[in-house]
Each structure stands twice: as structure tokens, then as C-alpha cells.
Amino acid sequence: MNFQRVFAIIRKEFVHIIRDPRSLAMAIAMPVLLIFLFGSSLSLDVDKVPLVIWDQNRTSDSREFIGRFTGSRYFLLSGYVNSYEEIEQSIDKREAMLALIIPTDFSRKLETGRKADAQLIVDGSDSNTATIAIGYAKTVTDSYTSSLMLKTAQRQGEKKVGIPLEAKPRIWFNQNMQAKNYIIPGLIAVIMMVIAALLTSLTIAREWENGTMEQLLTTPLQPRELILGKLVPYFAIGMFDVLLAVLIGELLFQVPLRGNGALVFCMAALFLPGALTMGMLAGIITRSQLVASQLAMVLTFLPSFLLSGFMYSIANMPPFLQGLTYVVPARFFVAILKRIYLKGAGLEMLIMEAVGLLVFAVVLIVVANIKLKKSWCS
């Protein structure tokens, strides 16, 4: 390998990027824009669930029970209704997701020590949100039940009432259970995967479309020298994009970085060569900028979004898809970033993921070199 020729390709690619504002904007502005848009709009937090109430009892007991819901940050009172028809209309119009119905004998049953019932109607069209909302309602109900048991015991003359068993959860790594703290790190990995592949998908295809590849064929340049020369400029831009993404996550979204910041960039340095080479391979195969960019998008966005563990747990996927995730480099980078950001993990905890990124990069670079050699010979 002649590093003088590699340096010439690097210089040529840098000059082209600087002279082409579209490439420069795509390389720098798009990651920032995507992280801002996805980070602002994508959230798994469920709060302020719209609630309507049909209070048929209208007593101090029912008002106290209702106050447990309206006083919680998880529920937002949309209004009161007086029939099932109004409940159905509220849910159909998306004015409510839950409806709480308190029967007429609610207070009487409580006073006589019998079990009182209250009905909760839930819109199950969004099953995940509905499940979480039901959990919130159960928590509110359990709290109200505990207070009733305490009052009953006190009325019966018991001076001290103890709770036989009380579970006290302690949350590690994400104490406030904020979705952004694990969405943003995964989002950085997914967006960098897509942008890196898109950038390099155009660089080889552009040489074929502009006719400059034929000129390169007449030089002593080797395929591996061309690949390395084109990777280096976009690798530098990719590392700069990672820096911007980390700064946006910490300054704009206040996502804490508990681990070593230098380790984030070391792992990104292992991740980017594979992602960049994947895009370059798409350009080598198609020789068309349009087709190469579309192929790069198909190979990166959906697999990275669905099969990386960013949004959906890999452990809950069918065995076939779990095996398929190992050919998605974003899987390893997502796991690395989440562990560094949330758990402050060190290198010793990231060895397997780091080896996966390294193997993926080496394999793709070898395949791209072989394909480019065949393209030059044909």
C-alpha cells in the first residue's frame, strides 16, 4: 500500500466535500436535525392520561377516591359524564382514554365494611399505553385501599396499625424513569449508522457516474488504497458528528453521561469504519448514486431501528430474529452507548460488543475490496 497515493485520495475527497455544500450540509446538519427531531418527539413516557368520570355516588367518599386520580400527575381530568353513551363518545373523539365509573352504592358498601366496586373502562387500541395506564390506576386504587384499611382499624380502636409486607423499590441507573435517558444514546447510534452509510454510498457511485473512475483505473492506484482514502475524510466527519450528538444529548436534552466520554469516542471509532464501508459497498455494487443511497437506507434504517435493541427488546424477539441482530452493527453500538451513558460501564464490560464492531468492520472492508477489484477488472 502506497500511503502517498492514499493521501492524494484523502485530499481529493476533502476538497470535493468542501466545494459541495450539499454534501457538507448532509454530513453535519442532518445528524443534528434528526437527533433534535427524534429526541424531541420520540418518547415512551406515559403521563397525563385523559380521564372522564361518571360519579353516580356523589358523596365525600367518591370525591376522595376521585381526588386520588385527579391529584396524580399520571391522569388529566377531561370532564364528567352521565352515561355510557357519553363515555363512548369521549373515547371515540380521543377526548379520553380512561373512564372511571363509581356506582351509587359505593359509599354505603364502604361504611358497612363490604367490598366496594368501581369500573374502569380503557381504550385498548393502543395496547402498550393502555397497559401502563391500567397499572397507574391500580397503584392509585391500592393507595386508596390502604388508607381505608388504616381508617377502619383506627375506628375499631387499634392505636397502631402496621403493614405486614411492604416492597420498597430502588431504581438504579435511571432513577426518575425518564425515557429520554435511554432513547437518546440509542438514537445516536441509529442516526450515525444511517448517516455514515448514506455519505459513503454516494462517493464511489459518483466516480462511476462522472466518468472519473476510468481515469483512476489508468493510475497505479490499488482498490484498497481508494477505499482507505475515501474512508478517512468521512471518518473524520463522522467523529465530529458524534461529538455534536453527545453535546446535544447533554446540553439540550440533559441526558447524563455517567461513563467515560473518551470511551464513547473510542467505541465510535470502531463503529464508524463498518458503517461507512457498508455505504461504500452499496455504491460499488450499484454504480448509481440514487440506487446506492436507497440501498444504503434500506440496509441501515429499518434494521437499526427495529433489530438493534433501540426500541424493542431483543430478548422478546423470535429466535430467528435474535440471531439476525448479530449482523446489524447498530446492535452492538446501541448496547455500548446505553451501558456507558446509564451504567458508567468501563471497557472490561464492553469487550464482546467492541469485538463485534471490529469483526464487522474488517469483514466489510475485505468484501468491499474484493468487489471493487472485480469492478475494475470488468
* pLDDT value of position 156: 64
Q: Are 353 and 335 in contact (CB under 8 A)?
A: yes
Give one word for 94, left, alpha or beta, with left for phi > 0 and alpha for psi -120 to 50. left
Query: Do 66 and 34 fall within a single domain?
Result: no
> Quick check: is 21 in a domain?
yes
Of the candidates 329, 357, 336, which has an alpha carbon nearest to the alpha carbon of residue 257? 336
What is the count of structural domains for the chain?
2
Residue 89 sits in the same domain as residue 193: no
8 Å CB contact between 70 and 136:
no
Query: Using CA atoms, how far apart are residues 202 and 191, in angstroms rounded to an integer?
Result: 17
Whether residue 6 contacts residue 230, with contact meaning beta carbons closer than 8 Å, is answered with no
Same domain? For 326 and 211 the reply is yes
Examine the domain organization and report whether 150 and 276 are in the same domain.
no
- Written as nine digits, the cell of 82 is 352521565
Mark which of 100, 124, 155 sits at the end of a domain: 155
Check whether residue 268 and residue 128 sit in a common domain: no
Among the candidates 123, 155, 187, a domain finishes at 155
Residues 31 and 130 in one domain: no
Long-range CB pairs of 250-254 (<8 Å, 24+ gap) are: 252/36, 252/39, 253/39, 253/180, 253/184
Are residues 35 and 131 located together in one domain of the fold? no
Same domain, 188 and 206: yes
Whole-angstrom CA distances from 74 to 130, 134, 200 are 12, 11, 46
168 assigned to some structural domain? no
Tell me, yes or no, whether 219 and 148 share the same domain.
Answer: no
β-bridge partners, 79: 52
Give 316-358 pLDDT, tens digit per residue.
888 998 999 999 999 999 999 999 998 888 888 899 999 999 9
Q: Are residues 32 and 80 in the same domain?
A: no
Smallest CA-to-CA distance from 276 within 357, 193, 204 is with 193
β-bridge mates for residue 122, sequence order:
98
Share in percent of the chain as helix, strand, coil (round to 5)? 70, 5, 25
Which residues of the chain are under the pLDDT cut of 70? 43-45, 152-167, 376-378
Pairing, β 49-55 against β 98-102: parallel
pLDDT in tens, 160-198: 555 555 667 777 887 777 778 888 898 899 888 988 888
Residue 140 lies in a domain: yes
Structural domain harbouring 85: 49-155
> What cell numbers appear for 334 in the block?
446501541
Secondary structure, 3-state, 145-177: HHHHHHHHHHHCCCCCCCCCCCCCCCCCCCCCC
Q: Are residues 30 and 80 in the same domain?
A: no
- CB–CB of 201/293 below 8 Å? yes
Residues 88 and 231 in one domain: no
Q: State the DSSP code for 119.
A: E
Return the pLDDT at 11. Answer: 87
C-beta neighbour count of 78 within 10 angstroms: 18
Contact yes or no for 279/199 (Cβ under 8 A): yes
Q: Which of 374, 362, 334 is nearest to 278 (CA)?
A: 362
pLDDT at 262: 93
